[in-house]
Amino acid sequence: MPGVYFTTTEFLDDAKSAAKDRGMPGIRMIALPADTYYRSRSTQAELQPIAAAVFDQMVDDLVRPLTADEAKPSQIQKQHENTNIKVTGSDYQDAYQNVNDLFLDSRWADGLPIVPPTPVLVKAMLAATTRSPDEVVGQVAPKNGTATVEKIAVNSVMAGAKPEYFPVILAAMDGFVDKHFDLTHVQASTGSFTPVVIVNGPLAKELNFNSGIGMLGHGWRANSTVGRALRLSLLNIGQTWPAVNDMALTGRFEAYTFFTFAEDEAKSPWEPYHVALGYKPEDSTVTVATSGNPLVLGGGAVAPWTAQGILDTVAARTSNVVFGWVHSQTYILVLHPDCAYELGKLGYTRKSLQAWLYEHTSIPYEKLLAATSGFGHASEIDEINQSIADGRIRPDRAQIFKNALKPGGKVPIVQSPDDFHIVVAGGSPGYSLLFSYPGPNWANETKKITGATLTKAGH
Amino acid sequence: MKKQSNWLRAAALVCASLFLAGAAAAQVTLEVMNPRGEIPPPPTMGINARVSSLAGKKIVLVDNGKFGADNFLNVLAQILKQKYPDATIVMYPKPSAQTITDMPKWYPTVKQQGDLFIFGVGD
C-alpha cells in the first residue's frame, strides 16, 4: 500500500534514521516547518496555509513513479565495529588527550572525558565475571546494536567503573535488553525519561553503593560509574545521539549517571525489596526501570510531615492526573528510612501498603468519564477498553477493570498492587520520592547478579 | 677548508637524523577498543509502487495521536475533497497504546480500508 509520512524539520533526521533501522530507507517523507507547525497546530485555520504549501508535494510523492533504488534498494551493509583503534601522540598525555578528542568528536562518549578503553583495562574488567566476552547479552534499541559482554566491558572501562562493579552493570543490561522492557521508548522518546537503577542484596553493601544522604548525587564511585557505564553502553551499543535519534526534548534529569542507588535494607522495617520479589536474601539483584522527574514528598529537615500524610499525597497526586496507559504503569515509591519506620509502626506491611496504594489511587468512574486521554483522542475509558481488548491488561486482571468501568466503580491506575514497588532509601530526616513512567509499554525488570569473581557476593 | 665544510655538513645531517629518529621513537601509541555495538542490518525493502492518480481512490489518513495531528490531517482531508471529489477519505486514529513498532497490529486495518495512506505527524 503506497503511503507518505509527515514529520517536521526537527524530527526529519530521526525519521530517516528510524526508516533505515527498519530496512526501508526509501520511505517518502515530508517535513513540515517546525518553526511554524508547532505554533499553529492548535487550530485548523492556522494549519491551513501549512497544509496547502505541502499539498502538491504530497500528491507528487503518492503518484511519482519509483526510482530503481526506491523500488529495490541495495541491501544495507553491516558496519564492522570490532577493530581496535590506534591513536598516537607525542607522549602519553598527548595520546590520552587524542583518544578523548577522538571519542568525544565521534559521539562515542557522553560529553565528559573518558578512560581510554585499552585492551589491558578491558581484560581486567572482563576478569570480574565468569560470563564469556563473546556472550550476546541482547540487542540495544533503537538501532538494535549487539551488546556482547565485551562491548559492555569497553563502555564500563570508559565510565571509570571498577571491575568489581561489572557484574552489576551486566545484570542491569540484562534488564534493559529484556524483551519485555520497552527500551526504544526509553531511549528515543521526547518524554525525556531517565532510567532508574536500584541495587539490592549483599553486593550493594560490599561495593559501597550509597543508599543514604545524597544517594542520587555525586561522590559515590559505585553509584556514579555503574550509572555512567550504563549510560555509555546504551549510547554506544544502541547508537543514539541527542536530536538525531534520542529525541528527549529537555535531555534527561540524570543524564550522565541515571538515578542509580541501593536500597537501605538495614533501615527498612520490611524484607528487602528483592526478597519481596521472590529472590533469596543472599541474592543480589539490580532493578532497572525508568521515570520522569520524581515527585518529592515530605518536609525534609525544615517542614513537618507524617507518614500517613505522605501516603495521602501520593494518592492525591497520582489519582488526580491523566494516566493514559494503565496496562503498563508501575510506580516506585522510595521511602526515606524515618517514613518507612513510621509506616511500620502504624502496622503497615509491604503488602498492606501496596494494597492501600492500589485502593486509594483508584479513580472514580465518574471522574474518569469526564477525563480526556493524555494522548490522542480516545477517552481514558476507551484507552482502558482497548488495553483489555488487545490483552495488554492481563486476562486475570481484565475483569477487575470491566467491573470498575461502571457508575460507582473505582478504576485502578495499575494492573495489580504489586505494580507499586516499595523501596527504602535516602537520608534522615528525609524526602521520599515517587518515580513514575507514563509510557505505553512495560519498562521495569529485576535481574539477579551472577558470575562475580572478585567479590564475596554476586556469584 | 672545503673538506672541513663537507665534514660539518655530514655531521649536521647525522645529528638531524638522530634527532628526528629520537623524536619518532618518542611517539606514544595507545590502542583502544571500539565501544560501539555492531548492528545486524535488517533486510532492506523497497517501498510500494505509487498510484497513477488520487482520483477515485480510498485514501486513509492515519492520525498518530500526537497533539495537533488530527487538525493537520483534517485540513489535508478538506483539500483532498476539494481537489479529488470522487476520492473516499477515511480518517483512522491509530490506537495510542500501539506505537510505531506495533505496526503489525494496526497496519492491516489501514490496508483493509484504503488504496493508499497518509501518516502524520511525527512528532
Mutate to test the interface with A, among B106, B115, B123 (most CBs of A within 10 A): B123
Question: Given this model, what pLDDT does residue A91 score?
Answer: 96
Q: Which candidate from B39, B41, B93 shows the least CB-CB separation from A239? A: B39
Cell numbers for A353, please give them. Answer: 501498603
Chain A residue whose CA is closest to B101? A184
User: How far does the CA of residue A352 sit from the closest CA of chain B (Å)?
Assistant: 31
The CA distance from B14 to A298, in Å, is 78
Residue in A with minimal Cα distance to B114: A1
Q: Cβ of B122 and A38 within 8 Å?
A: no
Residue A80: pLDDT over 80: yes
For A262, the enclosing helix (H) or strand (E) is strand A259-262
Nearest to A309 by CA among A319, A298, A320: A298
Q: Is the pLDDT of residue A376 over 80?
A: no
In angstroms, the separation between the Cα of residue B41 and the nearest Cα of chain A is 6
Question: Is residue A236 within a helix (H) or strand (E), and if so which, with residue range?
Answer: helix A221-237
* DSSP 3-state of A129: strand
CA–CA min distance B21, chain A (Å): 13
A326 CA to chain B: closest CA distance, Å?
Answer: 10
| Inside any domain, residue B28 | no
Residue whose entry in the numeric block shows the C-alpha cell 543524564: A255
Amino acid A424: pLDDT: 98
CA gap A421, A16 in Å, rounded:
38
Give domain status of residue B115, yes or no: yes
Nearest to A51 among B37, B43, B75 (CB): B75
Residues of B in contact with A11 (CB under 8 A): 122-123
* Whole-number pLDDT of residue A25: 92
Considering its fold, how many domains does chain B have in total? Answer: 1
A385-427 per-position pLDDT tens digit: 888 888 889 999 999 999 999 999 999 999 999 999 999 999 9
**A440–B38 C-beta distance less than 8 A:** no
Q: Which three cell numbers stand for residue A81?
A: 565495529
pLDDT of residue A381: 84
User: Out of B31, B119, B120, whose CB is closest to A119?
Assistant: B31
Instruction: Give the minimum alpha-carbon distance from A226 to chain B in angstroms, rounded to a whole number.
Output: 16
Chain A interface mutation, best of B30, B61, B67, B116, highest count of A Cβ atoms under 10 Å: B30
Quote the pLDDT of residue B6: 62
* A81: Cβ contacts below 8 Å, ≥ 6 apart: B34, B36, B37, B38
* Chain A residues within 8 A of B89 when measuring between CB atoms: none
C-alpha–C-alpha distance, residues A213 and A228, integer Å: 20
In the chain, the amino acid numbered A117 is: P
The radius of gyration of chain A from alpha carbons, rounded to an integer in Å, stands at 24
Whether B73 is in a domain gets the answer: yes
- Confidence (pLDDT) at A450: 98
Residue B1 lies in a domain: no
**% of chain A exceeding 70 in pLDDT:** 97
What's the gap in Å between the CA of A270 and the closest CA on chain B?
A: 36
Rounded Cα distance between A204 and A211, Å, is 9
DSSP state of A8: E
Cα dist from A247 to A173, A189, A238, whole Å: 21, 6, 14
Say how far apart CA A145 and CA A151 lie, in whole Å. Answer: 10
Residue showing cell 559521539: A107
Please list, in sequence order, all residues whose beta carbon lies within 8 angstroms of the beta carbon of residue B9, skipping any fewer than 6 positions away.
Answer: none
Residue A197's nearest CA partner among A248, A260, A256 is A260
Residue A426 region, left (φ>0) first, then alpha (ψ -120 to 50), else beta? left
Hey, are the CB atoms on B31 and A143 less than 8 Å from each other?
no
**Cα gap A264→A422, rounded to integer Å:** 12
In-domain check, residue B52? no
Position A78 scores a pLDDT of 87
CA angle at A318 for the pair A316 and A322, rounded to the nearest 5°: 120
Do the Cβ atoms of B110 and B53 come closer than 8 Å?
no
- In this complex, the residue of A70, A237, A375 whose CB is nearest that of residue B96 is A375
Q: Which residue has the cell 534527561?
A: A252
Rounded to a whole number of angstroms, the distance from the CA of A155 to the nearest CA of chain B is: 6
CB within 8 A of A193, min separation 6: which ones? Answer: A185, A186, A248, A252, A290, A291, A292, A437, A439
φ, ψ for residue B24 (rounded to 5)? -65, -40
* Structural domain contains residue B22: no
How high is the pLDDT of residue A389? 87
Alpha-carbon gap: B86 to the closest alpha carbon of chain A (Å): 15
| Average confidence (pLDDT) over A218-239 | 98
Residues with Cβ within 8 Å of A337's Cβ and at least 6 positions away in sequence, in order, are A264, A267, A268, A424, A425, A426, A428, A430
A46: nearest Cα among B68, B66, B118: B68
Give me the residue label for grid cell 523500488.
A71
**pLDDT at position B10, please?**
56
Indicate yes or no: CB of A82 within 8 angstroms of CB of B72: no
pTM: 0.91
> How many residues are listed for chain A in this entry?
459
Which tops the pLDDT comparison, A370 or A427?
A427
Q: Do A147 and B54 touch (CB under 8 A)?
A: no
Q: Is A107 left (phi over 0), alpha (psi -120 to 50) or beta?
A: left
Is B16 within the bounds of a domain?
no
Residue of A nearest to B60 (CA): A3
The top-scoring range by mean pLDDT among A313-322, A361-370, B12-21, B44-53 is B44-53
Q: Average of pLDDT values for A246-268?
A: 95
CA dihedral in degrees (A342, A345, A347, A348; nearest 10)?
30
pLDDT in tens, A168-177: 999 999 999 9
B76 and A70: CB-CB below 8 Å? no
Give the ranges where A253-294 is alpha helix by DSSP (H).
273-276
* Cell numbers representing residue B51 in the block: 498510484
Q: Do B41 and A386 touch (CB under 8 A)?
A: no
Task: Give the best residue of A44, A323, A388, A390 to mutate against chain B (max B CB count within 10 A).
Answer: A44
| Residue A345 predicted with pLDDT over 70 | yes
pLDDT of residue B1: 47
Summary mean pLDDT of chain A: 93
What percentage of residues in chain A have a pLDDT greater than 90? 81
pLDDT at A377: 61
Task: Give the DSSP letter of residue A10.
Answer: G
Mutate to test the interface with B, among A47, A146, A156 (most CBs of B within 10 A): A47
Q: Which domain holds residue B80?
A: 58-120
Q: pLDDT digit string (tens) for A81-126?
A: 888 999 999 999 999 999 999 999 999 999 999 999 999 999 999 9
- Facing residue for A24 by CB, picked from B26, B45, B97: B45
Q: Which residue of B has its CA nearest to A100?
A: B32
Out of B26, B30, B98, closest to residue A118 by CB: B30
Q: How far apart are CA A67 and CA A72, in angstroms?
A: 9
Q: Do B101 and A184 touch (CB under 8 A)?
A: yes
Cα A265 from Cα A269, distance rounded (Å): 8
Q: Is residue B18 part of a domain?
A: no
pLDDT for residue B101: 65
Residue among A14, A50, A66 whose CB faces B47 most closely: A66
**Cα distance from B77 to chain A (closest Cα, Å)?**
10
Q: Phi/psi of residue A441, each to 5°?
A: -135, 170
pLDDT in tens, chain B (123 residues): 455 556 556 555 544 554 455 555 579 999 999 999 999 999 999 999 999 999 999 999 999 888 899 999 999 999 999 999 999 999 988 776 566 667 777 788 888 989 999 999 887
On whether the CB atoms of residues A386 and A297 are closer than 8 A, the answer is: no
C-alpha A49, offset from chain centre: 39
Residue A70's pLDDT band (boundaries 50, 70, 90)? very high
Which single residue is written with the C-alpha cell 490522542? Answer: A376
Distance CA(A305)–CA(A351), nearest Å, equals: 23
How many C-beta atoms lie closer than 10 Å to residue A40's C-beta? 21
